[in-house]
Chains A and B, each alone.
Chain A
């Protein structure tokens, strides 16, 4: 297997993976979505809420806000040594929100949370949680814990994780008369007329929609779009809770654990 990073930034990455198969890519994708743990608020104790929003509405918003996750210090509650329903310092982090609008209307943001552990803070400080009119107050304590995407979407580390086959576009120069129909049809602007030739650029952007093939009026078709079943373009966009690199490596560790477990159980029988 050969992996190449096509492009990346703080939250997303695009990988070109050669010599793999759809089964493995799908296993990786599904593990990232449903098994990689992240931190999110699970329980909210509302002490006072005189805002226009109901308690459950507010708690739901707080739950959805992604938190920077420290996987090395925190344990999943089911794996934590404390075995306590209420959690301990190793499986739970508390955040406090105490805001009051005094003379004019204010907006409460995720950044107003005071965290017990400074490394567990909201990914974005500008998510509006509620708007408070003068004299309205919100006082609450939120408990964050590690969880998995299969339990609730708020624990999903990614907002997008997908793969596709690597497209192979071939132009038969003997048949092509450069009519330009396929260039106009392409939604991703992959085909360009360069001199007396039809050129293909940014092949990785191709969605294999076959519109260019349908647009070609030649018989047989002068353009052909196929795909390599062993080469994939894997895209991933993190919510910011974990880095894309950590998400992939964590997913691979989980897959490895599952396979080792299966193997040891088979040997035991």
Chain B
């Protein structure tokens, strides 16, 4: 759904690194390098960011559409 706050395995906070990671990877930077740069060292934390998909971005489109089409539930 939305980025996990912490690594499932070790508990390191990784949520705050997601946006930086996602934009940089989208711009074409090497994901491994970005992770090194962000200080995400262990493979448990690295997979958290590497394998994450922001599904909330897909879901939120429906709410946005409802708002723009003035189809608010009464």
Contacts and interface: CB of A to CB of B under 8 A. Distances in A.
B6 interface: yes
Contact of A159 (B7, B57, B68): B7
Contact of B2 (A66, A130, A240): A130
A108 to B, nearest CB: 10
Main secondary structure of the interface of A (DSSP, over half): loop
B3 interface: yes
A243 to B, nearest CB: 16
Interface in A128-160: 128, 130-131, 133-136, 153, 156, 159-160
Contacts of B66: 133
A76 interface: no
Contacts of A135: 67, 72
B60 A128 contact: no
Contacts of A136: 63
B63 A127 contact: no
A61 B6 CA distance: 9
A64 interface: yes
Nearest to A63: B5
Nearest to B68: A134
Nearest to B5: A64
A124 B63 contact: no
Interface string B1-30: 111011100111101101100000000000
Contact of A53 (B1, B6, B15, B42): B1
Contacts of B1: 53, 57
A259 interface: no
Contacts of B72: 135
| Range for the number of chain A residues in contact with chain B | 20 to 34
Given A127-B16, A160-B42, A65 B5 contact: yes
Given A61-B5, A131-B56, A159 B10 contact: yes
A13 to B, nearest CB: 15
Interface in A55-97: 57, 61, 64-66
Contacts of A128: 2-3, 15-16, 18-19
A128 B15 CA distance: 6
A105 interface: yes
Contact of A52 (B42, B59, B67): B59
19 contacts: A53-B2, A57-B1, A61-B2, A65-B15, A66-B13, A123-B13, A124-B15, A126-B16, A126-B19, A127-B15, A127-B16, A128-B18, A133-B60, A134-B63, A136-B63, A153-B11, A156-B11, A159-B10, A159-B13
Interface of B: 1-3, 5-7, 10-13, 15-16, 18-19, 42, 56-57, 59-60, 63-64, 66-68, 72
